[in-house]
Protein backbone atom coordinates (compact mmCIF):
# COMPACT_ATOMS: atom_id res chain seq x y z
CA UNK A 1 0.00 0.00 0.00
CA UNK A 2 2.86 2.36 0.85
CA UNK A 3 4.36 1.99 -2.55
CA UNK A 4 1.15 2.16 -4.50
CA UNK A 5 0.04 5.41 -2.98
CA UNK A 6 3.24 7.01 -1.73
CA UNK A 7 4.06 8.68 -5.01
CA UNK A 8 0.58 9.94 -5.72
CA UNK A 9 0.26 13.67 -5.77
CA UNK A 10 -1.89 15.84 -7.95
CA UNK A 11 0.84 18.50 -7.94
CA UNK A 12 3.59 16.41 -9.57
CA UNK A 13 4.06 16.20 -13.31
CA UNK A 14 3.15 13.10 -15.29
CA UNK A 15 6.75 12.66 -16.45
CA UNK A 16 7.90 12.64 -12.83
CA UNK A 17 5.25 10.03 -12.05
CA UNK A 18 6.37 7.93 -15.02
CA UNK A 19 10.02 8.14 -13.96
CA UNK A 20 9.21 7.26 -10.39
CA UNK A 21 6.97 4.38 -11.37
CA UNK A 22 9.52 3.03 -13.79
CA UNK A 23 12.26 3.23 -11.18
CA UNK A 24 10.09 1.36 -8.73
CA UNK A 25 8.80 -0.99 -11.43
CA UNK A 26 5.26 -0.41 -10.27
CA UNK A 27 3.62 1.32 -13.16
CA UNK A 28 0.72 -1.06 -13.21
CA UNK A 29 -0.07 -0.78 -9.52
CA UNK A 30 0.57 2.96 -9.60
CA UNK A 31 -1.96 3.54 -12.37
CA UNK A 32 -4.40 1.32 -10.52
CA UNK A 33 -3.75 3.53 -7.50
CA UNK A 34 -4.44 6.69 -9.50
CA UNK A 35 -7.72 5.25 -10.76
CA UNK A 36 -8.69 4.19 -7.27
CA UNK A 37 -7.74 7.56 -5.84
CA UNK A 38 -9.85 9.28 -8.51
CA UNK A 39 -12.77 7.09 -7.45
CA UNK A 40 -12.07 7.98 -3.82
CA UNK A 41 -11.32 4.34 -2.94
CA UNK A 42 -8.03 5.15 -1.25
CA UNK A 43 -6.81 8.31 0.43
CA UNK A 44 -3.66 9.94 -0.95
CA UNK A 45 -0.59 9.28 1.17
CA UNK A 46 2.26 11.50 0.22
CA UNK A 47 4.87 10.66 2.81
CA UNK A 48 8.19 9.54 1.44
CA UNK A 49 9.50 6.31 2.94
CA UNK A 50 11.93 6.47 5.84
CA UNK A 51 14.16 3.43 5.71
CA UNK A 52 16.46 2.12 8.43
CA UNK A 53 18.75 -0.84 7.85
CA UNK A 54 19.54 -2.69 11.08
CA UNK A 55 22.87 -4.50 10.84
CA UNK A 56 25.12 -6.47 13.17
CA UNK A 57 26.46 -9.98 13.67
CA UNK A 58 24.37 -12.99 14.68
CA UNK A 59 23.01 -12.48 18.19
CA UNK A 60 24.10 -8.84 18.41
CA UNK A 61 20.56 -7.91 19.50
CA UNK A 62 19.05 -6.50 16.29
CA UNK A 63 15.64 -8.12 16.71
CA UNK A 64 15.47 -7.25 20.42
CA UNK A 65 16.18 -3.57 19.77
CA UNK A 66 13.82 -3.46 16.78
CA UNK A 67 10.94 -4.38 19.09
CA UNK A 68 11.79 -1.37 21.27
CA UNK A 69 12.13 0.96 18.27
CA UNK A 70 8.71 -0.17 17.00
CA UNK A 71 7.15 0.44 20.43
CA UNK A 72 8.72 3.88 20.82
CA UNK A 73 8.83 5.26 17.29
CA UNK A 74 6.12 3.36 15.41
CA UNK A 75 8.14 1.75 12.65
CA UNK A 76 7.11 -1.33 10.66
CA UNK A 77 9.61 -4.11 11.45
CA UNK A 78 10.67 -6.28 8.51
CA UNK A 79 13.15 -8.97 9.57
CA UNK A 80 14.72 -10.50 6.45
CA UNK A 81 15.52 -13.68 8.41
CA UNK A 82 11.90 -13.96 9.60
CA UNK A 83 10.61 -13.47 6.04
CA UNK A 84 12.91 -16.25 4.83
CA UNK A 85 11.85 -18.55 7.69
CA UNK A 86 8.22 -17.86 6.77
CA UNK A 87 8.97 -19.04 3.23
CA UNK A 88 10.39 -22.28 4.63
CA UNK A 89 7.36 -22.79 6.88
CA UNK A 90 4.94 -22.14 4.02
CA UNK A 91 6.74 -24.73 1.87
CA UNK A 92 7.04 -22.27 -1.01
CA UNK A 93 9.01 -23.10 -4.17
CA UNK A 94 12.16 -21.53 -2.67
CA UNK A 95 11.61 -23.03 0.79
CA UNK A 96 14.01 -25.98 0.52
CA UNK A 97 16.78 -23.86 -1.01
CA UNK A 98 16.35 -21.23 1.74
CA UNK A 99 16.46 -23.88 4.48
CA UNK A 100 19.70 -25.35 3.15
CA UNK A 101 21.25 -21.90 2.81
CA UNK A 102 20.34 -20.92 6.37
CA UNK A 103 21.62 -24.24 7.78
CA UNK A 104 24.94 -23.52 6.06
CA UNK A 105 25.01 -19.95 7.38
CA UNK A 106 25.21 -18.69 3.80
CA UNK A 107 23.30 -15.88 2.07
CA UNK A 108 20.10 -16.46 0.11
CA UNK A 109 20.17 -14.98 -3.45
CA UNK A 110 19.43 -11.26 -3.36
CA UNK A 111 16.51 -11.45 -5.75
CA UNK A 112 14.61 -13.81 -3.43
CA UNK A 113 15.12 -11.69 -0.31
CA UNK A 114 14.50 -8.33 -2.00
CA UNK A 115 11.23 -9.62 -3.50
CA UNK A 116 10.03 -10.68 -0.02
CA UNK A 117 10.96 -7.28 1.45
CA UNK A 118 9.34 -5.49 -1.48
CA UNK A 119 6.08 -7.39 -0.97
CA UNK A 120 5.96 -6.49 2.72
CA UNK A 121 6.66 -2.84 1.98
CA UNK A 122 3.91 -2.74 -0.60
CA UNK A 123 1.44 -4.25 1.83
CA UNK A 124 2.31 -1.87 4.67
CA UNK A 125 0.34 1.24 5.49
CA UNK A 126 3.38 2.53 7.36
CA UNK A 127 6.04 4.62 5.64
CA UNK A 128 8.73 4.06 8.30
CA UNK A 129 10.54 0.75 7.86
CA UNK A 130 13.09 -1.07 9.98
CA UNK A 131 14.76 -3.61 7.72
CA UNK A 132 16.43 -6.01 10.13
CA UNK A 133 19.36 -8.21 9.06
CA UNK A 134 19.56 -6.84 5.50
CA UNK A 135 21.57 -6.04 3.37
CA UNK A 136 24.05 -8.78 4.28
CA UNK A 137 26.27 -8.33 1.23
CA UNK A 138 27.23 -5.65 -1.26
CA UNK A 139 25.19 -7.57 -3.83
CA UNK A 140 22.15 -7.41 -1.49
CA UNK A 141 22.65 -3.68 -1.14
CA UNK A 142 22.90 -2.99 -4.87
CA UNK A 143 19.96 -5.26 -5.58
CA UNK A 144 17.75 -3.43 -3.04
CA UNK A 145 18.66 -0.05 -4.51
CA UNK A 146 17.97 -1.30 -8.04
CA UNK A 147 14.66 -3.05 -7.33
CA UNK A 148 13.17 -0.80 -4.63
CA UNK A 149 14.77 2.36 -5.95
CA UNK A 150 15.53 4.03 -2.62
CA UNK A 151 18.47 4.30 -0.23
CA UNK A 152 18.28 4.03 3.55
CA UNK A 153 18.01 7.17 5.64
CA UNK A 154 19.69 5.54 8.63
CA UNK A 155 21.90 2.47 9.07
CA UNK A 156 22.28 1.08 12.60
CA UNK A 157 25.21 -1.19 13.37
CA UNK A 158 25.03 -3.21 16.59
CA UNK A 159 28.69 -3.75 17.38
CA UNK A 160 29.07 -6.71 19.73
CA UNK A 161 32.09 -8.86 20.69
CA UNK A 162 32.04 -12.30 19.08
CA UNK A 163 32.11 -14.25 22.34
CA UNK A 164 29.04 -12.36 23.59
CA UNK A 165 27.20 -13.02 20.30
CA UNK A 166 27.99 -16.74 20.48
CA UNK A 167 26.81 -16.90 24.11
CA UNK A 168 23.53 -15.13 23.27
CA UNK A 169 22.78 -17.28 20.22
CA UNK A 170 23.47 -20.53 22.08
CA UNK A 171 21.12 -19.40 24.87
CA UNK A 172 18.38 -18.17 22.53
CA UNK A 173 16.36 -21.37 22.62
CA UNK A 174 13.91 -20.55 19.82
CA UNK A 175 14.53 -23.78 17.92
CA UNK A 176 16.32 -22.09 15.01
CA UNK A 177 18.20 -24.50 12.73
CA UNK A 178 21.19 -22.15 12.67
CA UNK A 179 21.55 -21.66 16.43
CA UNK A 180 24.30 -24.26 16.90
CA UNK A 181 28.04 -23.77 17.29
CA UNK A 182 28.95 -25.14 13.86
CA UNK A 183 26.57 -22.81 11.98
CA UNK A 184 27.34 -19.83 14.22
CA UNK A 185 31.03 -20.07 13.29
CA UNK A 186 30.08 -20.00 9.61
CA UNK A 187 27.72 -17.05 10.13
CA UNK A 188 30.45 -15.10 11.90
CA UNK A 189 32.86 -15.76 9.02
CA UNK A 190 30.24 -14.65 6.49
CA UNK A 191 29.52 -11.56 8.58
CA UNK A 192 33.19 -10.55 8.63
CA UNK A 193 33.78 -11.24 4.95
CA UNK A 194 30.53 -10.06 3.33
CA UNK A 195 28.57 -7.86 5.74
CA UNK A 196 31.34 -5.64 7.13
CA UNK A 197 31.98 -4.15 3.65
CA UNK A 198 28.34 -3.01 3.58
CA UNK A 199 28.76 -1.40 7.00
CA UNK A 200 31.94 0.34 5.81
CA UNK A 201 30.11 1.56 2.72
CA UNK A 202 27.44 3.29 4.80
CA UNK A 203 30.06 4.66 7.18
CA UNK A 204 31.73 6.37 4.23
CA UNK A 205 28.35 7.75 3.14
CA UNK A 206 27.82 9.26 6.62
CA UNK A 207 24.69 7.19 7.27
CA UNK A 208 26.10 4.78 9.87
CA UNK A 209 25.24 4.90 13.57
CA UNK A 210 27.32 2.46 15.59
CA UNK A 211 25.81 1.17 18.82
CA UNK A 212 27.96 -0.53 21.47
CA UNK A 213 25.76 -3.60 21.83
CA UNK A 214 26.92 -4.64 25.27
CA UNK A 215 25.01 -4.06 28.51
CA UNK A 216 21.36 -4.52 29.32
CA UNK A 217 18.70 -4.25 26.61
CA UNK A 218 17.53 -0.95 28.14
CA UNK A 219 21.04 0.48 28.31
CA UNK A 220 21.55 -0.31 24.65
CA UNK A 221 18.22 1.24 23.72
CA UNK A 222 19.32 4.48 25.40
CA UNK A 223 22.00 4.72 22.68
CA UNK A 224 19.40 4.05 19.98
CA UNK A 225 16.66 6.40 21.21
CA UNK A 226 18.39 9.75 20.45
CA UNK A 227 19.08 8.73 16.86
CA UNK A 228 15.39 8.44 16.02
CA UNK A 229 14.36 11.24 18.38
CA UNK A 230 16.54 13.60 16.33
CA UNK A 231 14.74 12.60 13.13
CA UNK A 232 11.33 13.07 14.82
CA UNK A 233 12.11 16.69 15.68
CA UNK A 234 13.28 17.35 12.13
CA UNK A 235 9.84 16.13 11.01
Ligand X SMILES: O=c1ccn([C@@H]2O[C@H](COP(=O)(O)O)[C@@H](O)[C@H]2O)c(=O)[nH]1
Query: Annotated binding residue at 63?
Result: yes
Q: Of residues 72-91, which lie at the interface with ligand X (CB under 6 A)? A: 80-81, 84
Note whether 144 binds ligand X by CB under 6 A.
Answer: no
Query: Annotated binding residue at 136?
Result: yes
Query: Annotated binding residue at 131?
Result: no
DSSP state of 105: T
Of the candidates 7, 52, 60, 113, which one interacts with ligand X according to CB under 6 A?
113
> Rounded CA gap, 45 and 126, in Å?
10
- Taking Cα atoms as reference points, which of 125, 148, 124 lies closest to residue 25? 148
Residue 174 CB contacts under 8 Å (≥ 6 apart), including other chains: none
Q: Which residues pair with 51 in a beta bridge?
A: 129
Note whether 15 binds ligand ATP by CB under 6 A.
Answer: no
> Rounded CA gap, 8 and 28, in Å?
13
In the complex, minimum distance from the CB of residue 59 to Mg ion, in angstroms, rounded to a whole number: 8
Nearer to ligand X, 47 or 146 (CB): 146
Of the candidates 1, 23, 63, 210, which one interacts with Mg ion according to CB under 5 A?
63
Of the candidates 56, 105, 135, 152, which one interacts with ligand ATP according to CB under 6 A?
56
SS3 215: coil
Of the candidates 3, 4, 77, 136, which one interacts with ligand X according to CB under 6 A?
136
Order across the sheet with 50-56: list the strands.
76-79, 128-132, 50-56, 154-159, 208-212
| Nearest residue to ligand X, scored by beta-carbon proximity | 81
Scanning 1-9, 45-53, 168-176, 201-209 for contacts with ligand ATP by CB under 6 A, the matching segment is 168-176
Note whether 158 binds ligand X by CB under 6 A.
Answer: no
Query: What DSSP string runs through 110-134?
Result: HHHHHHHHHHHHHH-S-SEEEEET-
Query: Annotated binding residue at 85?
Result: yes
Amino acid sequence: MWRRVASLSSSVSSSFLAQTASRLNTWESLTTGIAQQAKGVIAPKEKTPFITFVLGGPGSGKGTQCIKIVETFGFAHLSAGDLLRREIASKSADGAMILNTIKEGKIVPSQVTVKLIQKEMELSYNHKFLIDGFPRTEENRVSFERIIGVEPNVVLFFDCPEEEMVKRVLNRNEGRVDDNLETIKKRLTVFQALSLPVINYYSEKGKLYTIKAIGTEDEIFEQVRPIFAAFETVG
